[in-house]
């Protein structure tokens, strides 16, 4: 009898007596770092914020149409360098104040304020020039240049001016980050053990679920058991290993969640001996990704329709930016690795590689919640290095530390960090590889710096036509596959699981809860 069968039987014993009442609970891999949309750093942040705030424009998850719950009508102004918005009337903030054009312009100004140290705001500074209030419900957003499809550019969440007392320099650590006021379907409050969402009927929202709890999942097996037992009603990310359990249950549904995610091992290129490219290339050849994938994700070699596909660069293989002429390393090649290490001056003594007479030992870390998706991945990688003669110590990093220290380039005492990046429609990787300076490279984990890479990233930024942007990223892909600030692992599909009592639960690509008003819970 397989594990799946055991789970179902175990679930059957208690499913009938456990009920969560009207409140719906779901598991995320970790709690959101912040509910302030300007400081989202993880997908869980974005997903939670989608419940609390309205973005000016968004794409319908059903037919991809561009829609707005905040804007009643719009027109182009200033020869295509501006857009005049007429706002929907009657919308209130969760605190009861009316939503007005002042709020829209406050948000734009906050993003443009250099005192707002937000990478998301920084990304908008290239395109937004300002905002003018022309009446209580009329705002004109100005662009830095003529843009095609201006509404597409206005995908930011609108913030309440009143909550910041008009101060456009917004810092990440305000009370607002834990107990924000939005115009979205749910009012959110972050505690130490979860986030509570309460429905908030508004002029543009009529949520059907009164209360919802976001909780941090622990062991993925226990998470699936809790779902089957109806202790929780949804899991946002189900590890591939457990998807068969969900599929074989009559009470659960596996749901597609469109997210472009890829996994990596970032290398500290500032630390010897990893500052030597040949050593990094040797590590690349030491990894047997096929074995890693089989052990951690459960994908058999040659399996068709695998949720996990190897990559050789910083894009998912279906992306036009992926350089398909760069092959992925699927199997280890210890002979190549050995040759490279010797060339770099390493010595192998008693089966262990030494650098300057000392055995090489790498300090490896990984954000804790990734273990839910790829169980024991850190240990498997460590074992493969160990078998090839490189020692390592492994550490699981709490999610908050990952956000505040790893992404910000402060975990420099580590040699390797295992991580995952997720993307939506935009696959801009510049923040990952630009040399950290003057607002660039805000997600450059080990402060990697290479002039050729910077040049290619600048080419992408400056590209006036699509083919130039594509070509810049193809070259970047090839360059990174050679220079290896990251060991690129794989892209991994994301699937959610929800109990069947949760109805009409359309999942939006990337943002997830965009269609939340239609969700119902018949528990």
Partner 1 sequence: MVLVKEAGHHLAALVFVLAAGCDGGEPVVGGPQGSDPGVVIPGALVGRTWPVLMADEAIRAPFEQHPGWAALVMQRDHPGALAAFSAEPALPAGQARVHAELAASYRQAALLAAQATVQVWAEERREEDPPEVDCLVGLSQIILAQDTAIASLTACTANVSGPIAEEATAWLAWKQAGAAEALAQPFAATPGHPPAPVVGGLPDVSALPVYILHDRVEAREIPAASPMTLVALAGYHESAAVLALGGEASIPALLLAPWRLPMELVPALPAGTLPIEQLFGSPLLVAEDAGFLADLSHGQGLAAVSEWKDRSALAAAIGPCVDLAARTVDPACAVERAGRAFEQVRAAMEIKSGGEQGYHRPFAEMARLGVVRAAEMAAAAAGDEKPMGLLRLSGIDLSLGAAAEPHYLLSIAAWDAHNKNSSRASETLHAQIGHIPGVEVARFPLDALHVRLSRESAPGVPMH
Q: What ranges in 209-326 are assigned the alpha helix state H?
A: 220-228, 240-247, 277-286, 289-292
Q: Which one of 93, 99, 176, 402 is in contact with partner 1 (CB under 8 A)?
A: 402
Least gap, CB of 485 to partner 1 (angstroms): 14
CA angle (107, 109, 112) in 5-degree steps: 110
- Contact mark string toward partner 1, 463..502, x via CB under 8 A: xxxxxxxxx----------------------------x--
In contact, 258 and 61? CB cutoff 8 Å: no
Q: Which one of 16, 79, 96, 148 is in contact with partner 1 (CB under 8 A)?
A: 148
| CA 8 – CA 22 distance, rounded (Å) | 24
Return the range that interacts with partner 1 (CB under 8 A); candidates 151-159, 327-335, 390-398, 477-485: 151-159
Least gap, CB of 464 to partner 1 (angstroms): 7
Q: Which one of 69, 190, 260, 289 is in contact with partner 1 (CB under 8 A)?
A: 260
In contact, 131 and 77? CB cutoff 8 Å: no
| CA 374 – CA 317 distance, rounded (Å) | 19
Q: Which one of 248, 393, 412, 437 is in contact with partner 1 (CB under 8 A)?
A: 248
Q: Which one of 32, 37, 61, 389 is in contact with partner 1 (CB under 8 A)?
A: 61
In contact, 45 and 33? CB cutoff 8 Å: yes
Residue with Cβ nearer partner 1 (385 or 423): 423
Q: How far is CA 238 from CA 8, 16, 130, in A?
A: 16, 24, 42
In contact, 328 and 311? CB cutoff 8 Å: yes
User: What letter would DSSP give residue 145?
Assistant: S
Residue with Cβ nearer partner 1 (83 or 390): 83
Residue with Cβ nearer partner 1 (119 or 182): 119
Nearest C-alpha neighbor of 516 from the set 114, 265, 272, 207: 207
Q: What ranges in 143-276 are assigned the alpha helix state H?
A: 150-153, 220-228, 240-247
Q: Which one of 129, 133, 254, 334 is in contact with partner 1 (CB under 8 A)?
A: 254
Collapsing DSSP states into helix, strand and coil, what is residue 60?
coil
Least gap, CB of 61 to partner 1 (angstroms): 8
Least gap, CB of 511 to partner 1 (angstroms): 11
Q: Which one of 13, 21, 65, 165 is in contact with partner 1 (CB under 8 A)?
A: 65
Q: Which one of 1, 17, 63, 358 is in contact with partner 1 (CB under 8 A)?
A: 63
Tell me how many residues contact partner 1 (CB under 8 A).
76
Least gap, CB of 359 to partner 1 (angstroms): 32
If binding is defined by CB under 8 A, does position 201 make contact with partner 1? no
Query: What kind and span of H or E run contains 364?
Result: strand 361-367
Residues 20-59 that bind partner 1 (CB under 8 A): 40-43, 45-46, 57, 59
Q: How far is CA 60 from CA 40, 132, 213, 216, 258, in A?
A: 21, 28, 25, 28, 13
If binding is defined by CB under 8 A, does position 200 make contact with partner 1? no
Least gap, CB of 260 to partner 1 (angstroms): 7
Q: Which one of 103, 216, 367, 450 is in contact with partner 1 (CB under 8 A)?
A: 367
Least gap, CB of 229 to partner 1 (angstroms): 21
Residue with Cβ nearer partner 1 (153 or 271): 153
Residues 101-130 that bind partner 1 (CB under 8 A): 119-120, 123-124, 126-127
Residues 444-463 that bind partner 1 (CB under 8 A): 463
Query: What kind and span of H or E run contains 177?
Result: none
Give the side-chain half-sphere CA count within 13 A for 260: 17
Q: At what angle do helices 240-247 and 3-15 cross, to 10 degrees?
A: 60
Least gap, CB of 399 to partner 1 (angstroms): 9
If binding is defined by CB under 8 A, does position 9 make contact with partner 1? no
Residues 179-198 that bind partner 1 (CB under 8 A): none
Q: How far is CA 77 from CA 22, 136, 146, in A?
A: 47, 18, 10
In contact, 235 and 217? CB cutoff 8 Å: yes
Residue with Cβ nearer partner 1 (238 or 390): 238
If binding is defined by CB under 8 A, does position 160 make contact with partner 1? no
Least gap, CB of 483 to partner 1 (angstroms): 19
Collapsing DSSP states into helix, strand and coil, what is residue 501?
coil
Least gap, CB of 441 to partner 1 (angstroms): 11
Q: At what angle do helices 3-15 and 220-228 cross, to 10 degrees?
A: 40
Collapsing DSSP states into helix, strand and coil, what is residue 12?
helix
Residue with Cβ nearer partner 1 (41 or 282): 41
What Rg do the C-alpha atoms of the chain give, in angstroms? 24
Q: What ranges in 293-374 are assigned the alpha helix state H?
A: 334-343, 370-373
Nearest C-alpha neighbor of 236 from the set 490, 422, 39: 422
- The answer for residues whose C-beta is within 8 angstroms of residue 456's C-beta and 6 or more apart is 472, 473, 475, 476, 479
Least gap, CB of 490 to partner 1 (angstroms): 14
Least gap, CB of 73 to partner 1 (angstroms): 20
Return the range that interacts with partner 1 (CB under 8 A); candidates 176-184, 268-276, 291-299, 420-428: 420-428
Residues 320-349 that bind partner 1 (CB under 8 A): 320-321
Residues 296-315 that bind partner 1 (CB under 8 A): 304-305
If binding is defined by CB under 8 A, does position 432 make contact with partner 1? yes
User: What letter would DSSP give residue 56?
Assistant: S
If binding is defined by CB under 8 A, does position 275 make contact with partner 1? no
């Amino acid at each position: 009898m397989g594990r799946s069968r055991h789970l179902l039987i175990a679930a059957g014993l208690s499913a009938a007596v456990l009920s969560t009442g009207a409140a719906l609970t779901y598991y995320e891999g970790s709690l959101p770092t912040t509910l302030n949309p300007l400081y989202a750093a993880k997908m869980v942040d974005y997903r939670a914020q989608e419940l609390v705030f309205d973005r000016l424009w968004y794409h319908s998850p059903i037919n991809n149409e561009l829609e707005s719950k905040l804007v009643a009508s719009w027109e182009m102004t200033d020869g295509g360098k501006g857009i005049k918005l007429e706002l929907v009337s009657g919308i209130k903030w969760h605190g009861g104040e009316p939503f007005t054009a002042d709020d829209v312009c406050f948000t734009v100004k906050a993003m443009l304020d250099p005192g707002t140290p937000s990478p998301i705001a920084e990304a908008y500074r290239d395109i937004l020039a300002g905002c003018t209030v022309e009446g209580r419900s009329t705002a004109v957003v100005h662009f830095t240049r003529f843009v095609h499809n201006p509404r597409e550019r206005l995908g930011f969440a609108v913030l309440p001016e009143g909550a910041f007392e008009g101060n456009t320099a917004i810092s990440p650590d305000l009370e607002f980050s834990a107990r924000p006021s939005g115009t979205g379907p749910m009012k959110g409050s972050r505690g130490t053990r979860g986030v509570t969402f309460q429905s908030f009927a508004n002029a543009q929202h009529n949520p059907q679920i009164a209360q919802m709890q976001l909780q941090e999942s622990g062991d993925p097996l226990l998470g699936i058991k809790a779902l089957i037992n109806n202790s929780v009603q949804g899991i946002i990310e189900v590890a591939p290993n457990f998807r068969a359990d969900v599929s074989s249950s009559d009470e659960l549904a596996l749901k597609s969640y469109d997210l472009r995610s890829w996994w990596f091992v970032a290398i500290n290129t500032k630390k010897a001996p990893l500052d030597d490219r040949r050593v990094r290339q040797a590590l690349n050849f030491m990894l047997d990704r096929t074995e890693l994938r089989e052990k951690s994700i459960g994908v058999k070699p040659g399996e068709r329709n695998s949720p996990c596909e190897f990559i050789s660069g910083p894009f998912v293989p279906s992306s036009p930016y992926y350089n398909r002429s760069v092959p992925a390393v699927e199997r280890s090649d210890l002979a190549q690795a050995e040759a490279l290490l010797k060339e770099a001056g390493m010595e192998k003594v008693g089966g262990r590689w030494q650098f300057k007479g000392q055995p090489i030992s790498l300090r490896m870390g990984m954000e804790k919640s990734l273990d839910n998706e790829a169980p024991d991945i850190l240990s498997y990688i460590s074992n493969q290095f160990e078998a090839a003669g490189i020692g390592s110590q492994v550490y699981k990093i709490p999610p908050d530390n990952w956000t505040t220290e790893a992404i910000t380039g402060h975990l420099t005492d580590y040699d390797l960090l295992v991580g995952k990046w997720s993307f939506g429609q935009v696959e801009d990787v510049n923040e990952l590889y630009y040399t950290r300076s003057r607002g660039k490279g805000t997600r450059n984990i080990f402060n990697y710096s290479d002039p050729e890479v910077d040049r290619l990233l600048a080419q992408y930024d400056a590209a006036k036509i699509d083919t130039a942007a594509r070509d810049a990223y193809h070259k970047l892909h090839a360059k990174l596959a050679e220079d290896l600030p990251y060991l690129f692992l794989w892209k991994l599909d994301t699937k959610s699981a929800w109990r069947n009592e949760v109805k009409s639960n359309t999942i939006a690509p990337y943002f997830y809860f965009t269609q939340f008003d239609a969700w119902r819970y018949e528990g």
